Structure 1
Amino acid sequence: MELIDILTKDQIILNLKGTNQDDVINELVDKLAENNLTSDPVSFKKAIYKRENEISTAVGYGVAIPHAKSKSVTKPTILMGRTLHGVDYGGQHTNLIFMIAAPENASDEHLSLLSKLSTFLMSETFRAKLLVATSVDDVVNAIEDHDIPEDTESADKPDSGKYIIGITACMTGIAHTYMAAESLKEAAAKRGMKVKIQTNGANGPENQLTASDVRNADAIIVAHDVAVDTESLQGKRFVDVPVKKAISQADQLIDKALSYDIRDSSANIDISDEEEPEKKSGINFYKHIMSGVSYMIPFVVVGGIFIALSFMFGIDAANPESDQYNVFAEFFSQVGGEAAFALMVPILAGFIGFSIASKQGLAPAMIGGMIATIGGSGFLGGMIAGFVGGFSAKYIGRAFKGVPKAFQGLISVLLVPLLSTFIVGAFMFFILNTPMSLLNVFLENWLTGLTGVNAAILGALLAGMMASDMGGPINKTASAFGLAMFAANIFEPSAALMVGGMVPPLGIALATTIFKNRFTLQETEAGKASYVLGASFITEGAIPFAAADPLRIIPANIVGAAIGGAACMALDISLKAPHGGIFVIPIASSAPLLYIGCILLGSVVTCIMIGFLKKPLSEEARKKAKAMDSII
């Protein structure tokens, strides 16, 4: 049974009228009764709320999947509701609600449907298609594109008898985590291998590996850009790579993992004693920084938005001695500036240390980060404190490996954190804080003094770097600079960086609309989703187009982003929330309309360049490309 067989057109509501969780549940249950799919809507609604009271079915990413069994349900059914304004569902802002109804005597069929539907909804492109759908036919087409029956060729392959397991975790825990997992699953399935991948997503680990999984595994792959707890892997050797490698090189990684022969107990090694080539090449350094940044970002976003809300009451409204004083302004200022912002650097340092030395590195690195905040060395000082604290804890821990196990607990909770904290504390207090604080003051004064052409050049550089490799090292270098300035209360670079992240998908989306004859039919369809992705500051919407035609798309992205970023900084526009796209601009930007104008300017430039650089495709070539895509 396919999803489209039980989610029919008359079970889709594109414009839910409800403004809260109860309203939308009522609308969907009413639709269920209207279609004669339940004989007792009241009892089914009770079953839905019983499930919600156990744990909310809001799964994140703007999606909720309420589900229940009831004897009043006549057959397994899915209903879909969409609300563009969004509702608070289980404490999460939600736009898409899928209700699954199953008869009471069904053999957990609704759970299998839930699993399948959840897999679909992990795709940002799929969710975006549902959000931009203008008719129920658009929804049906989006589901049909994803609801492809399993490949009979791979199903006929003999069981290889091999079992591969893995863990995937990206910086945000949204797109690449699940893309990597799906890539590994598909590659393993083609070989007739059994596979289980744990995804460490934004809502925590899913499909968690068990001790039995690890014991029975023939190969293990860990693909991550942030710290992952590998203690559960029982010391077995595993392939350790960044997430993107799992997406693009799944077959090669499986070959490498199988070559380790971890079923042979003599081949098992202490993974802390042997580093993979990827680690030695410096990717590990990048991973530690990204781990710290990923944990810091929520503090940055919350702090910036709360400070922006405080300023809405007046520049001095948070000061009790000012005539503008407002108690709510003081509340927002205290939560955002005195709490969230104060924790940014210690959190950054702490989780860099955690990435290096696991739990033992957290305390010394975080304390070092707080010393960086107190001593004025700021974001850069916090990064260094994270590395000093983390590596101190790691090597002190190794030095005491030979101590009898009876004393290991005392060493891990007392000796290691005590000695490593002394090392990082002394380093920060006596050596680093003074010169780093002077450097920060110089940098802040220089940036504050930038005006006109100089500011425009910096804005163009930052935004262009942001658009150049869309998540790669150049992009992250620009992001790190912006976060450093953000921590120093300089918010103009953040505005330029967000322009650089939003322009590529928006410019490409415009190009697929205006210059349709330059793209295949599938690319034109994907361009619609890029509008939503770009507006949400999800640069990944541009990646498929850049991968397909890098020599034309990437230069257009960089030039458009650079022009938008230059205009943004030349106009002295600031942004007090470095993430969130269109959703934070109205409250976090110093000039929302001008800022949106800069984004549109860059997007139009990218669009025009793409139209000029790409040659038109014949109608026959477009149809042929669509046919090839359907075969693949």
Structure 2
Amino acid sequence: MNITDLLKKDTILLDLGSNSKEAVIDELVTKLDQAGRLNNKEKFKEAILAREAQSTTGIGEGIAIPHAKTSAVKTPAIAFGRSKQGVDYSSLDGQPSHLFFMIAASEGANQTHLETLSRLSSFLMDDNFRKKLEKATSADEIMEIVNAKEKKEAEDDIPEDAPSTGGNILAVTGCPTGIAHTFMAADKLKATAKEMGVSIKVETNGSGGVKNRLTPEEIEKADAIIIAADTKIETERFKGKPLIQVPVAKGIHEPRQLIERAVRKDAPIYQGSGGSSSSDADAKGRTGFYKHLMNGVSNMLPFVVGGGILIAISFLFGIYSADPTSDQYNRFAEMLMTIGGSNAFYLMVPVLAGFIASSIADRPGFAPGMVGGLIAITSGIEGTSGSGFLGGLIAGFLAGYLTLLVKKGLEVLPTLFDGLKTVLLYPVLSIGLTGLVMLIINPPLTTIYTGLSDWLQALGDANLVLLGIILGGMMAIDMGGPINKAAYTFGIAMLDADQFQFIAAIMAGGMVPPLATALATNIFKNKFTEQERQAGKSNYALGAFFITEGAIPFAAADPARVIPSIIIGSAAAGGLSMLFDIGLRAPHGGIVVAGLVDGNPLLYLLAILIGTIISAFLIGFLKKDLEKE
């Protein structure tokens, strides 16, 4: 599709009569409405003004690109207006604007429309193109200038995925609407980098999704990253890299300065979102099944943690305090139980399934995943709560891969149906297929799930202690890696099945490594550097709040001595927690929720303390003195 398929003579105003920003917007909106491109003039204007409230679309260089994507648009279109005297449009460079392109994108605009609108934004970065528009004397000439530019760009086009010729600078651009600024900044960065002899790859986060996505391998090799965006960008993948973060306008107006900074690595090293817990998904190094599973688990955790802690607090008022028929009844406790148990916990499995499916099939997978997860917990055998966590896992992967199958099957349709696919065909087919399969397989899954739960509940004390030792030790093997996550995920599954001892043992085991390394740096000072002793102080807090990763630097520095030491202590804490018959309804929080355990909280703290002391002294005995090393 060409730009002139959206920009027509009946949407061109060569001489704007307006002398203010709002008047210009009103004049262009009226032009689009008179040309029959809008469903609702007032709603479209509201959408344009709402976008202006986020940040001005007066990008400087005498250009303004007011734009909106809304159901108030009947047909995607572009209106062009020109003001010879110039209008104060609150432009980023403080100069009056002379050229105005109002972009009207419909809610269901297909990919072709969005790419065409974005291409116009890129053209406006060309000085010669703008000068020709300023000098044009008729609407026909405007159309000819645009057509000529498109033809030239098509001849000079270089594929986005062309191999890099050198350099290690990466960039990401994005704006709230994802139509104009995103691509203007990307083109400006690429053009400037070419002038400077610097090779760059730019990922765009536009309304049509992420384009030219940066790969883990490219990020690993990158010297620095530039993010020029006014919208949320996935940044955890850039952990450990020099990261420059600026508004998208900086990418348009200061590309040379940004690239020069990136080449010099003149930027702070990105540390991530701040101390991921043992329950967070790794942002790096995940592929396939594990990646999808952890995407589901990490997005489910806020529901589990928030709901679990609220449930645990309700029990402080009495074990039956949420039951209106009990003498212990307390209205506030009942409210907490309703919020945590009847709502947050109820959403746990559907959210797990939804985000597993969206990890596999992107956004189209989310709805069928949610529906499949809901069926898992509501359509099992009568008298049960369905197949729970197990059913949710299966529903997530089922929905994700069925959605991929649906998307693949619909690729044969003409591009005319692209907009219809996302709003109608994908959801109807993927939700329908996922729902049908889940309704068939959920009863046998429920039998398996309830059987597993009953078997674990029937285990003798000795077997439970052994299982606690294994789970506690697993938490310390890789401290946030796949083994740690496998143990933690098992604990959440059992929490969903009303088996509370397992997550208690797992949390005890996960708290020991950072606490033990902290204690060891205090007791055996001659075995640690000054830097390690300082890091050890912060590990008291990390361990207390169940952030196992605090021990990773110590394990990485001396794995042969530290890792076996913390595994033994974590296993002891997990086993003792089981031996003391400690249960926990909150899957996170560490010391914050220790007082909310089912059982004796002092015995729970004793289990953690014993595990910590065992590991700390093993570390001290095994590590050599610094002088000897």
Pick the TM interval, shorter chain.
0.5 to 0.7
- For residues 357 and 230 of structure 1, the distance between their equivalents in structure 2, rounded to whole angstroms, comes to 18
Q: Which residue of 2 aligns with 1:211?
A: 183
**Cα displacement string for residues 371-401 of structure 1 (whole angstroms, at most 9, x for unaligned residues):** 0011211101101101111111122122212
Larger radius of gyration: 2
1:60-459 map, 5 Å = 196=171, 210-215=182-187, 216=189, 218-219=199-200, 235-236=211-212, 238-240=214-216, 283-374=287-378, 375=380, 376-431=386-441, 433-459=442-468
- For residues 525 and 562 of structure 1, the distance between their equivalents in structure 2, rounded to whole angstroms, comes to 27
Report deviation, 1:212.
Answer: 4.1
- For residues 594 and 546 of structure 2, the distance between their equivalents in structure 1, rounded to whole angstroms, comes to 11
> What count of residue pairs does the alignment treat as equivalent?
391
- For residues 314 and 473 of structure 2, the distance between their equivalents in structure 1, rounded to whole angstroms, comes to 32
Q: In 1, are the aligned partners of 2:471 and 2:574 still within 8 Å (CA)?
A: yes
- For residues 615 and 397 of structure 1, the distance between their equivalents in structure 2, rounded to whole angstroms, comes to 59
Q: Which amino acid aligns with 1:239?
A: T
**Cα displacement string for residues 229-284 of structure 1 (whole angstroms, at most 9, x for unaligned residues):** 7977763253136999966899xxxxxxxxxxxxxxxxxxxxxxxxxxxx9x9822
Q: In 2, are the aligned partners of 1:482 and 1:493 still within 8 Å (CA)?
A: yes
- For residues 461 and 547 of structure 1, the distance between their equivalents in structure 2, rounded to whole angstroms, comes to 22
Report deviation, 1:337.
Answer: 1.0
The structure-2 alpha-carbon separation of the partners of 1:231 and 1:562, relative to structure 1 and needing over 3 Å to count, comes to farther
Q: Which amino acid aligns with 2:572?
A: I
Q: Which residue of 2 aligns with 1:471?
A: 480
Q: Which residue of 2 aligns with 1:534?
A: 543
- For residues 418 and 396 of structure 2, the distance between their equivalents in structure 1, rounded to whole angstroms, comes to 24
Q: Which residue of 2 aligns with 1:519?
A: 528
Q: Which of 469, 479, 490 is 1:460 aligned to?
A: 469
- For residues 210 and 599 of structure 1, the distance between their equivalents in structure 2, rounded to whole angstroms, comes to 51
**TM-score normalised to the size of structure 1?**
0.57
Query: What SS does the aligned partner of 2:216 have?
Result: strand
- For residues 496 and 507 of structure 1, the distance between their equivalents in structure 2, rounded to whole angstroms, comes to 17
Query: What SS does the aligned partner of 1:532 have?
Result: helix
Q: In 2, are the aligned partners of 1:289 and 1:352 still within 8 Å (CA)?
A: yes
The structure-2 alpha-carbon separation of the partners of 1:504 and 1:387, relative to structure 1 and needing over 3 Å to count, comes to same
**Which runs of 4 or more aligned residues in structure 1 lie more than 6 Å from their structure 2 counterparts after TM superposition?**
228-233, 241-246
Query: What SS does the aligned partner of 2:400 have?
Result: helix
- For residues 548 and 324 of structure 1, the distance between their equivalents in structure 2, rounded to whole angstroms, comes to 53
- For residues 185 and 475 of structure 2, the distance between their equivalents in structure 1, rounded to whole angstroms, comes to 40
- For residues 517 and 171 of structure 2, the distance between their equivalents in structure 1, rounded to whole angstroms, comes to 36
Q: In 2, are the aligned partners of 1:557 and 1:606 still within 8 Å (CA)?
A: yes
Q: Which residue of 2 aligns with 1:498?
A: 507
Residues 559-568 or 286-295, more deviating? 286-295
Paired-residue identity, %: 49
- For residues 356 and 220 of structure 1, the distance between their equivalents in structure 2, rounded to whole angstroms, comes to 25
The structure-2 alpha-carbon separation of the partners of 1:412 and 1:197, relative to structure 1 and needing over 3 Å to count, comes to closer
Residues 598-607 or 577-586, more deviating? 577-586
5+ residue gaps, structure 2? 1-52, 55-165, 191-198, 221-234, 243-282, 381-385
The structure-2 alpha-carbon separation of the partners of 1:484 and 1:230, relative to structure 1 and needing over 3 Å to count, comes to farther
Q: In 1, are the aligned partners of 2:168 and 2:200 still within 8 Å (CA)?
A: no
Q: Which residue of 2 aligns with 1:577?
A: 586
Q: In 1, are the aligned partners of 2:565 and 2:619 still within 8 Å (CA)?
A: yes
- For residues 231 and 606 of structure 1, the distance between their equivalents in structure 2, rounded to whole angstroms, comes to 52
Query: What SS does the aligned partner of 1:400 have?
Result: helix
- For residues 372 and 233 of structure 1, the distance between their equivalents in structure 2, rounded to whole angstroms, comes to 30
The structure-2 alpha-carbon separation of the partners of 1:506 and 1:331, relative to structure 1 and needing over 3 Å to count, comes to same
**Cα displacement string for residues 512-539 of structure 1 (whole angstroms, at most 9, x for unaligned residues):** 0000111111111111111111111111
Query: What SS does the aligned partner of 2:287 have?
Result: helix
- For residues 205 and 307 of structure 2, the distance between their equivalents in structure 1, rounded to whole angstroms, comes to 28
- For residues 448 and 528 of structure 1, the distance between their equivalents in structure 2, rounded to whole angstroms, comes to 40
Q: Which amino acid aligns with 2:552?
A: I
Report deviation, 1:617.
Answer: 1.5
Q: Which amino acid aligns with 1:310?
A: S
Q: In 1, are the aligned partners of 2:171 and 2:201 still within 8 Å (CA)?
A: no
Q: Does 1:596 align with 2:572?
A: no
Q: Which residue of 1 aligns with 2:620?
A: 611
- For residues 353 and 364 of structure 2, the distance between their equivalents in structure 1, rounded to whole angstroms, comes to 13
- For residues 283 and 249 of structure 1, the distance between their equivalents in structure 2, rounded to whole angstroms, comes to 21
Report deviation, 1:367.
Answer: 0.2
Q: Which amino acid aligns with 1:338?
A: S
- For residues 504 and 197 of structure 1, the distance between their equivalents in structure 2, rounded to whole angstroms, comes to 37
**Cα displacement string for residues 398-441 of structure 1 (whole angstroms, at most 9, x for unaligned residues):** 2212423332222222221111112211211112x122211211
Q: In 1, are the aligned partners of 2:373 and 2:395 still within 8 Å (CA)?
A: yes
- For residues 377 and 587 of structure 2, the distance between their equivalents in structure 1, rounded to whole angstroms, comes to 20
Q: Which residue of 2 aligns with 1:171?
A: none
Q: In 1, are the aligned partners of 2:173 and 2:186 still within 8 Å (CA)?
A: no
Query: What SS does the aligned partner of 2:359 have?
Result: helix
Query: What SS does the aligned partner of 1:238 have?
Result: coil
- For residues 460 and 586 of structure 2, the distance between their equivalents in structure 1, rounded to whole angstroms, comes to 22
- For residues 464 and 340 of structure 1, the distance between their equivalents in structure 2, rounded to whole angstroms, comes to 30
Q: In 1, are the aligned partners of 2:573 and 2:611 still within 8 Å (CA)?
A: yes
Query: What SS does the aligned partner of 1:577 have?
Result: coil
The structure-2 alpha-carbon separation of the partners of 1:328 and 1:245, relative to structure 1 and needing over 3 Å to count, comes to closer
- For residues 288 and 220 of structure 1, the distance between their equivalents in structure 2, rounded to whole angstroms, comes to 26
- For residues 469 and 391 of structure 1, the distance between their equivalents in structure 2, rounded to whole angstroms, comes to 30
1:536-551 map, 5 Å = 536-551=545-560
The structure-2 alpha-carbon separation of the partners of 1:366 and 1:549, relative to structure 1 and needing over 3 Å to count, comes to same
Q: Which amino acid aligns with 2:487?
A: A
The structure-2 alpha-carbon separation of the partners of 1:337 and 1:514, relative to structure 1 and needing over 3 Å to count, comes to same
Report deviation, 1:446.
Answer: 1.9
Q: In 2, are the aligned partners of 1:219 and 1:238 still within 8 Å (CA)?
A: no
Q: In 2, are the aligned partners of 1:368 and 1:389 still within 8 Å (CA)?
A: yes
Q: Which residue of 1 aligns with 2:196?
A: none
Query: What SS does the aligned partner of 1:401 have?
Result: helix
The structure-2 alpha-carbon separation of the partners of 1:540 and 1:367, relative to structure 1 and needing over 3 Å to count, comes to same
- For residues 534 and 466 of structure 1, the distance between their equivalents in structure 2, rounded to whole angstroms, comes to 13
Q: Which amino acid aligns with 1:361?
A: G
- For residues 236 and 521 of structure 2, the distance between their equivalents in structure 1, rounded to whole angstroms, comes to 26
- For residues 608 and 206 of structure 2, the distance between their equivalents in structure 1, rounded to whole angstroms, comes to 42
Q: Which amino acid aligns with 1:568?
A: S
**Cα displacement string for residues 146-181 of structure 1 (whole angstroms, at most 9, x for unaligned residues):** xxxxxxxxxxxxxxxxxxxxxxxxxxxxxxxxxxxx
